[in-house]
Amino acid sequence: NAGVMQNPRHLVRRRGQEARLRCSPMKGHSHVYWYRQLPEEGLKFMVYLQKENIIDESGMPKERFSAEFPKEGPSILRIQQVVRGDSAAYFCASSPEIAGADTQYFGPGTRLTVL
Amino acid sequence: TQLLEQSPQFLSIQEGENLTVYCNSSSVFSSLQWYRQEPGEGPVLLVTVVTGGEVKKLKRLTFQFGDARKDSSLHITAAQPGDTGLYLCAGNDYGQNFVFGPGTRLSVLP
């Protein structure tokens, strides 16, 4: 059973460009979470999605950031007009449908560098 | 707003020593997870604890969930250099939201 997959593993963008980060959850998992991690810091929650629905986006910056989890295909985190402060590791996690005693499983992350 | 605190923030010990790291909150969680993260990688799940007072052992690692389900501890016996990493705790708030602590950065020196 393949784990959570993220691509690309490394992404370099110039200021003003768009960054698209992809996440394929574990088989059978319908819940996806995105986190951001700055160097030497913990994980900061960004958004929680189920198929075709955004459940909680309280951690997402109001501008330039968006996320989707379509019926078919991976979840996408999109950052428009990137700035140097967007440089970070972005992690995706997935969990199965049962709530309460749930556990998240993480992907390897995408390291975004904005030049 | 739920917050998870972890202590110590940094810990450097010699191989063979024992250590305990802590995860504390004023909130009650339905479950709590411990992860270890190595540089350049994603967090890897170590354990999930669900029942207040629960103790789980994973080889040299012992995890305990507080009776009130607000705190947890991780004890490592005879630490090895391979235990080096960032240890993160995360709590589930009876829904699908997970709150992460800032982590304890452990370094085990040979």
Q: What is the pLDDT of residue A98?
A: 60
Residue A100: its pLDDT value, please?
46
Local confidence band at B2 (pLDDT 50, 70, 90 cut-offs): low
Contact: B88, A42; criterion CB under 8 Å: yes
Residue B1: what pLDDT?
58
- Which of B46, B98, B105, B107 would you mutate first to test chain A, the one with the most A CBs within 10 A? B98
Summary mean pLDDT of chain A: 90
Q: What is the mean pLDDT of residues A14-28?
A: 95
Task: Give the A:B interface size as CB pairs under 8 Å.
Answer: 63
Most B-contacting residue of A50, A94, A106 (CB-CB within 10 A), to test interface: A106
% of chain A exceeding 70 in pLDDT: 93
In angstroms, rounded to a whole number, what is the distance separating the alpha carbons of residues B3 and B26? Answer: 7
Which of the four pLDDT bands, split at 50, 70 and 90, describes residue B95?
low
pLDDT > 90 in chain B, percent: 78
Q: What burial class does residue A69 get, using C-beta atoms within 10 Å of its C-beta: 0-12 exposed, 13-18 middle, 19+ buried? A: buried
Greater confidence (B31 vs B109) lies with B109
From chain A, pick out residues whose CB is under 8 angstroms from the CB of B2. none
Q: Is A101's CB within 8 Å of B44's CB?
A: no
Cβ of A99 within 8 Å of Cβ of B102? The answer is no
Residue A39, pLDDT score: 79
Contact B97 A35 (CB under 8 A): no
Please give the pLDDT value at position A99.
53
pLDDT tens digits for A53-104? 998 898 899 899 999 999 889 999 999 999 999 999 999 999 886 654 567 8
List of domains in chain B: 5-104 (2.60.40.10)
The tens digit of pLDDT for each residue in B22-61 reads 999 988 988 899 999 998 899 999 999 989 999 999 999 9
Contact in structure between B30 and B93 (CB atoms under 8 Å) = yes
Contacts of A36 (CB under 8 A, 6+ apart): A43, A44, A46, A88, A89, A90, A91
Which of A45, A101, A107 comes nearest B42 by C-beta?
Answer: A107
B81 or A39: whose pLDDT is higher? Answer: B81
